[in-house]
Chain A
Amino acid sequence: MTEEQDQSTTKSYSITFSLDRGKFFRRACSSCGRHFKTEASDAELAHILQPVFSRIDAENKTMKISDGQVNEAATKTIMYCPYCGHHDDSGEMLTIEFQEYLKRYAYREIVFPQIRQMFSGLSDSFRQNRGHSRGLFSVQVKFEASDDTLPPRPIAGPEPPDMLKVKLHCCGKRAKILDGWYGSISCPYCGTNVIPL
């Protein structure tokens, strides 16, 4: 996981995704909460991050994500829940666990350094003013910029090799659904009703 900064204000982040042995990425329906997995490609994974990071850093209009090179103008990818058929942007179909991972990552790599930088500036300005007011009442304020140790980097996964692999004959892709799920499902990619045989 690295952060690179070029001469402009553009920052690039690369994030580790945890896939299972079949290279499937775990998702959760944003409506019913049930889990399923989709095939992971670099472009698709980059697309997942785009809305998440846009929310974190709404000011940063030039954010790019490694491999996918997705920008804000990119078309949304709609994904369907296999169980309830609910559809939403693929960036919304994420597990709570993965959302927590992203939040921790963003806090450590983006928010925390900004806070530290802000307080560091504040500390400098207090030092220049010597922390004194010169009125009738004299108030002394001491301010020390914290050199807090960075929180540990979050770790993604490991992803268990669970669920049943399904080849979807509507669009030729593959997905994974819960063991013991009986009956028809919606294809996560195109929404077609299919019956696992």
Chain B
Amino acid sequence: MNMTKEQTATSLRTFKSRRDAVLHDDSSTFEHSLQRFVEYCQADVLAQAVLAPLLEGGEPDADAWWKENISEDRDANLVIPSNPDDELALRYEILKYVASSSERVFSFGFHFHKMKLDESIELFRTIIVRPFAEEFGSRLSDAANLATPEARELQAVPYERIPNVNETRIFLSHKSVDKPIVFRYYSALKLLGFEPWLDEPDMPAGTNLERAILQGFEESCAAVFFITQNFKDEKYLAAEVDYAVMQKRSKGKKFAIITLCYLDDAPVPKLLKPYIFKRVSNDLDGFAELIRALPIELSPIRWKAEVVRD
């Protein structure tokens, strides 16, 4: 059964409205309400998905059941099948049977010594309609759940937690000779959806190096320093340490200085020591530490576009 969420919702809404009408509306409109309820059961796709399998083996004979149970010389006890499927099918057929002739509800009440039509209707509602409506409603709900798989939840984020587009880059500071290590981080961050800043890919030819680095820092939410035996706190690297500290002072918690130290006795610049500092034995350790220390996190899991494309 293929139904959209809207179709199943409409079906259940119609069911509830017609069920409540047949159960609770004024008894003067009972006949009309019952017919409308039966029409829903016969015509609605979701209702038929529940009822049709019950009737596959043949519809219960409501006329025979009526003659057997509803007559003056019978006792008041009604014979109802013990099997829930058979019971539901029989109740459905009884509803159709009574909907086709308005006098039957009166004879139903008469069987229970009710002399007024209102009382007969109330009794028929309680003994036949309500148990059917309750069980049928429960099965409709199950069918609706099956027909409409739940969509993944949205993430609703407060305004103040949504960063501007130009403040979420991750500045990767390193000595040129360590480029192979840093490029592995760059690629992994890119794959995850982060926006790392690395001099080579992010600086078009002819760009002023100092200005480009400064702009890179201004657009970043973190600076990562890769400390190896090659790292020296001088020249550009010293300037990058200074810029990082400046950004930290200006942005506070929205900027992280992360130092990944690949050597036990590597010389960590004094200015970086107060910030996040981790000795790592391999890239995976370092990467985990980096992700943990970032002030940003990524949006929810989703299927890749090519996976869902026809």
Contact = CB atoms under 8 A, between A and B. Distances in A.
B64 interface: no
Interface string A147-173: 011111111011111101111111000
B114 A152 contact: no
A161 B156 contact: no
A179 interface: yes
Contacts of B151: 164-165
B288 interface: no
Given A104-B24, A161-B8, A161-B148, A194 B141 contact: no
Contacts of B114: 149
Chain B interface secondary structure, helix, strand, loop or mixed? helix
B12 interface: yes
Interface residues of A, number: 37
Interface residues of B, number: 43
Interface in A138-197: 148-155, 157-162, 164-170, 174, 179, 184-185, 187, 192-197
Given A184-B159, A193-B158, A195-B162, A165 B150 contact: yes
Contact of A161 (B19, B119, B144, B162): B144
B157 interface: yes
Contacts of A55: none
B87 interface: no
B121 to A, nearest CB: 9
A149 B122 contact: yes
B158 A179 contact: no
A21 interface: yes
Contacts of B155: 166-167, 169, 196-197
Given A153-B130, A161-B148, A165-B151, A192 B158 contact: yes
A15 to B, nearest CB: 15
Nearest to A170: B158
Contact of B12 (A158, A166, A169): A158
Given A152-B24, A155-B130, A21 B150 contact: yes
A104 B114 CA distance: 23
Given A158-B138, A167-B155, A152 B23 contact: yes
A162 B157 contact: no
A100 interface: yes
Contacts of A135: none
Nearest to A147: B119
Given A148-B119, A154-B24, A161-B148, A169 B158 contact: yes
B137, B140, B157, B299, most chain A CB atoms within 10 A: B157
B6 A162 contact: yes
Contacts of A166: 153-156
A155 B137 contact: yes
Nearest to B126: A152
B154 A167 contact: yes
A72 interface: no
Contacts of B138: 158
Interface string B143-187: 011001011111111110110000000000000000000000000
B124 to A, nearest CB: 10
B119 A149 contact: yes
B129 interface: yes
B24 A165 contact: no
B301 to A, nearest CB: 12
B153 to A, nearest CB: 4
A154 B19 CA distance: 10
A152 B156 contact: no
Nearest to A155: B134
Contacts of A21: 145, 150
Nearest to A187: B156
A35 to B, nearest CB: 10
A57 interface: no
A85 B42 CA distance: 42
Nearest to B149: A161
A162 B8 contact: yes
A98 B156 CA distance: 27
A149 B5 contact: no
B128 to A, nearest CB: 10
Nearest to B13: A160
B156 A151 contact: no
Nearest to B134: A155
Question: Top 5 closest A-B pairs, CB basis?
Answer: A158-B141, A165-B153, A194-B156, A160-B9, A196-B154
18 contacts: A21-B150, A149-B119, A154-B23, A154-B24, A155-B19, A155-B133, A155-B134, A157-B137, A158-B16, A160-B8, A161-B5, A161-B145, A166-B154, A166-B155, A169-B158, A169-B161, A194-B156, A197-B299
